[in-house]
Structure 1
Amino acid sequence: MTAPADAPTVEAASSPPVSRGTARAVTATWWYTVVALVLFELTVVLVWAATLLQAGLDRGVVLAVLVGGLVWILSTAPLLRAYRHGGGDATALDWRSTLVPLVVATAYGVTVWSLSGLWVLLILPLAQSLQLLHWPRFVRARMVLAVTALLAGVLVVDVATAFSEPPLSAHEDPYVAGVFSVLLPLTTVLSLWWWDVLMVLDRARVSEARLAATQERLAVATDVHDLQGHHLQVIALQLELAERLLPDDRDAALHQLRAARLSVDEARQGTRDLATRFRTVPLPDELANARDLLRAAGLTVEAVIDVDADTAPASVFGPVIRETTTNVLRHGGGRRARLALTRLDDEWRYEISNDVPAPLPPATAPSPGDAGAPPERTRQGTGLEGTATRAGDVGGSMEVRAAENDFTVIVTVPAEAAAGGPR
């Protein structure tokens, strides 16, 4: 089973719920940045091709500059993708993923230099690709200044030196293409710096949301402590008094026992009321907790969460997520798991799957609770019965799929299911 094409990746599982508008704004800003950088690079390639054509170079050379430039621009896509998912942090460079783009940039520079004799075109492709890597801030600042100065210097040499007939110095605007080349790395760094600033602000927003959630949970813990501490103290006193009265006054002792029972009922009702006030943990947090638990158990976990997951019926999915995660921990026995909460038209779909450690015995008959479970995991259906009931109470359904190597539970709930549904 695959998630919808527009479903977010695992990174959403570790973040507090965000609105669709916020997620779209961040994504749109990134694409604005990417499009701008690609247009900058494409403009430089086109301007140089036009310059070389006007300077009298063979059309085949100009075509090679154009085609090679397009290949070089495409080779920067993995670097941009790595920068996007790196979040703008200065991390260790993964040379295994960046080696190919750097080799392509170097090959393009050497090829264009051999055809045109322009030193600026030898340096520019590699210098530009290097700006797309995750360098520490002070390294990037020094690098872009050094590259800009180097490009400006070799541009002066190229303009003053004939590379063909007529020489570049004879071109009516010899510095036009050069200025674009010199400014390209600096423009790239400024664009990526703007993206880094946006990511810092977004992380600050996420941290603020997490702090608010933590403070709310601390408030819940304090309320639970006060509520239960008071009632437990009262119950303890009533039971102690009943114990003392029992030998001499059985009626008074029974009265105290009844009072203790009423205190227990009051404590239970108070706990329910408190749970009603703080009814649910945000679903993205529930999934993040489930992912962390499974990883702690040694499983490789993939989590896919819709950007609007905070609008799903948490009163239904919260217990379902906890129960199915416990199911995998107790009875799974595999090495990998997958969690997904996605919106499909007018319903929400939660899916959890894990690999099974051994092929299923042919004699095992699937049932709604433990379909496909091997004999040592027959208890797997116990908790799933409650999950199916919980989904059915709000008009949803639960499906269990057992394959030779996978065990999957799918719970679907109507989108209009009340948030305060059954727990």
Structure 2
Amino acid sequence: MSSQPESAAAVSAAVEARSALRLTRSISVTWWYVSSSVVFFELAIVVFAVATVVEAGFGGAVIALVCVSALLWWLATLLPLLEYRRRTADAPLVIWRHHLVPFLTAAVFGLVAGLVTGQWVAGVLPLIQALILLNWPPGVRLRMVLAATALLVALAVIDFRLLPGESNSASGLQLVVFAILLPAVTVSSLWWWDVLVALDRARASEAKLAATQERLRLATDVHDLQGHHLQVIALQLELAERLMPRDPDAGMEQLRAARASVDDARQGTRDLATRFRSVPLSDELANAVDLLRAAGTKVEAAVAPDASLAPASALGPVIRETTTNVLRHGGGKWARLSLTRIDGSWRYEISNDVAINPPENADGAGLDGIARRAAEADGNLEVHREDRTFTVVVTVPDEAPTEALADAPAQDIAERKVAG
């Protein structure tokens, strides 16, 4: 019976670990920088330990033993470092499959280095590093590194008093200095990684919160819109049902009113969906530029700083349609796009070179659709052909203030999603 809760806890821990790793993939470069600083610092200690033995005049067998044990310790410390990237908040202090080998190699290297060099620092440092790489809580790890640094300083003083001649060699001094600094370097690197992970998780949580708030706002708008129309339709149908036996004409009038209410509800739903699907015009233009450049076209774009205030519902489809026309019918060498504000109106212009042999139906239905969209927004379409240049200009008036204020929150959220 007890195995089921344990298996469920194991599955939950595995899922949380995978989630933590997925979150940290976006800052993986920083992880490699953090772990590399610890690894290279440990490697420097290995080099200084071997150099100290060489300067002391030991034989080749002793030097080889110190070198092999030091390298094994250095490689073994990679296991807890790699595990630290997947560490979760409720991770146990010791995970034996990741910490047992580092402990054993640390004990072997510490015993060999301590006996050969005669330094307490060289013998104790590997075990201290193995302890620091455990999954300590942040506050405990700080006290741990302070105590470890104080212990190493005390042992260094003892070593210099007991072995003044051997310990004063250049490699011996460097070994002691790096050994004293290793705990602080390790903890500061891991602390920096923890800070970045916390910031990355906060960013992901903020993005999820923004999406949740947007869904709630959409649900509220749909509820208000459909609830109102459905209530009106229900009343009209009920009234028609009552009037039909006595006054069929009045009953039919209510049925026609109910059908008109259905059309209003359908149009309102379409308008709401269009508003939430709309993309800021700055993003539409950026996508158009990227698409044309991907096709090998040299593109220049000029966008007004306040382009987010332009009527996206009217100009967004126009930008997409004109971009498609340039790809299908243009010469493919160059294109220029601009969106500017002139005298209370927004002017979108796109120019491109003309193909050498344009197809007979080069205009197609694209320009008719653009003209229809411009007319629906009380704007106009201008088409110019000059030599080898084809230009489309669409001018639409500013949106009404109430519409602009209503669309602003959706645009702000869309912009945060793109930036994030």
Q: TM-score category by the smaller chain?
A: 0.5 to 0.7
Is residue 55–residue 167 contact of structure 1 (8 Å, CA) maintained in 2? Answer: no
Whole-Å separation in 2 of the counterparts to 1:35 and 1:173: 23
Cα deviation code 1:185-210 (max 9, x no counterpart): 11111111111121222222222222
Is residue 69–residue 108 contact of structure 2 (8 Å, CA) maintained in 1? Answer: no
Describe how 1:128-167 pairs up with structure 2 within 5 A.
Answer: 128-162=129-163
1:278 matched to which residue of 2?
276
Whole-Å separation in 1 of the counterparts to 2:264 and 2:170: 92
Gaps of 5+ in 2: 1-16, 279-420
Is residue 237–residue 254 contact of structure 2 (8 Å, CA) maintained in 1? Answer: yes
Asked whether 1:184 is paired with 2:185, we answer no
Equivalent residue letter for 1:246: M
SS at match of 2:190: helix
Equivalent residue letter for 1:268: R
How much does 1:54 deviate? 0.7
Cα deviation code 1:239-288 (max 9, x no counterpart): 111111011122322332233233234323422332333359xxxxxxxx
How much does 1:222 deviate? 1.4
Whole-Å separation in 2 of the counterparts to 1:70 and 1:266: 77
Asked whether 1:227 is paired with 2:225, we answer yes
1:93 matched to which residue of 2?
93
2:118 matched to which residue of 1?
117
How much does 1:142 deviate? 1.0
Whole-Å separation in 1 of the counterparts to 2:94 and 2:229: 58
Whole-Å separation in 2 of the counterparts to 1:198 and 1:151: 30
Cα deviation code 1:304-346 (max 9, x no counterpart): xxxxxxxxxxxxxxxxxxxxxxxxxxxxxxxxxxxxxxxxxxx
Higher RCO, 1 vs 2 (CA within 8 Å, ≥6 residues apart): 1
Describe how 1:33-112 pairs up with structure 2 within 5 A.
Answer: 33-86=34-87, 89=89, 91-97=91-97, 98-112=99-113
Asked whether 1:11 is paired with 2:19, we answer yes
2:335 matched to which residue of 1?
none
How much does 1:170 deviate? 5.7
2:193 matched to which residue of 1?
195
Describe how 1:325-344 pairs up with structure 2 within 5 A.
Answer: none
Cα deviation code 1:204-256 (max 9, x no counterpart): 22222222212211211211111011101111111111111011122322332
1:214 matched to which residue of 2?
212
How much does 1:23 deviate? 5.6
Asked whether 1:236 is paired with 2:234, we answer yes
SS at match of 1:257: helix
Alpha carbons of structure 1 residues 227 and 139: separation in structure 2 relative to 1, 3 Å:
same
Cα deviation code 1:49-98 (max 9, x no counterpart): 111211222232222222222211211222111111226x4632242332
1:386 matched to which residue of 2?
none
Equivalent residue letter for 1:73: W
TM-score, normalised relative to structure 1:
0.56
SS at match of 2:246: coil
Whole-Å separation in 1 of the counterparts to 2:73 and 2:262: 73
Whole-Å separation in 1 of the counterparts to 2:171 and 2:42: 20
Equivalent residue letter for 2:144: M
TM-score, normalised relative to structure 2:
0.57
1:295 matched to which residue of 2?
none
Is residue 233–residue 258 contact of structure 2 (8 Å, CA) maintained in 1? Answer: yes
How much does 1:140 deviate? 0.6
Whole-Å separation in 2 of the counterparts to 1:13 and 1:190: 21
Whole-Å separation in 1 of the counterparts to 2:107 and 2:124: 8
Alpha carbons of structure 1 residues 278 and 133: separation in structure 2 relative to 1, 3 Å:
farther
Displacement over 4 Å in runs of 4+: 12-15
Whole-Å separation in 2 of the counterparts to 1:152 and 1:118: 12
Is residue 149–residue 183 contact of structure 2 (8 Å, CA) maintained in 1? Answer: yes
Is residue 244–residue 251 contact of structure 2 (8 Å, CA) maintained in 1? Answer: yes
Q: As a proportion of its length, which structure holds more helix?
A: 2
Whole-Å separation in 2 of the counterparts to 1:12 and 1:93: 17
Equivalent residue letter for 1:95: I
Equivalent residue letter for 2:96: R
Whole-Å separation in 1 of the counterparts to 2:72 and 2:202: 38
Identical positions, percent: 54
1:268 matched to which residue of 2?
266
Cα deviation code 1:349-392 (max 9, x no counterpart): xxxxxxxxxxxxxxxxxxxxxxxxxxxxxxxxxxxxxxxxxxxx
Is residue 235–residue 264 contact of structure 1 (8 Å, CA) maintained in 2? Answer: yes
Alpha carbons of structure 1 residues 92 and 277: separation in structure 2 relative to 1, 3 Å:
farther
Is residue 80–residue 133 contact of structure 2 (8 Å, CA) maintained in 1? Answer: yes
SS at match of 1:56: coil
How much does 1:182 deviate? 0.9
Is residue 49–residue 65 contact of structure 1 (8 Å, CA) maintained in 2? Answer: yes
Whole-Å separation in 1 of the counterparts to 2:170 and 2:229: 92
How much does 1:123 deviate? 1.1
SS at match of 1:266: helix
Describe how 1:402-413 pairs up with structure 2 within 5 A.
Answer: none
Whole-Å separation in 1 of the counterparts to 2:263 and 2:207: 36
Is residue 159–residue 174 contact of structure 1 (8 Å, CA) maintained in 2? Answer: no
The alignment of Structure 1 onto Structure 2 pairs a total of residues equal to 261
Equivalent residue letter for 2:19: E
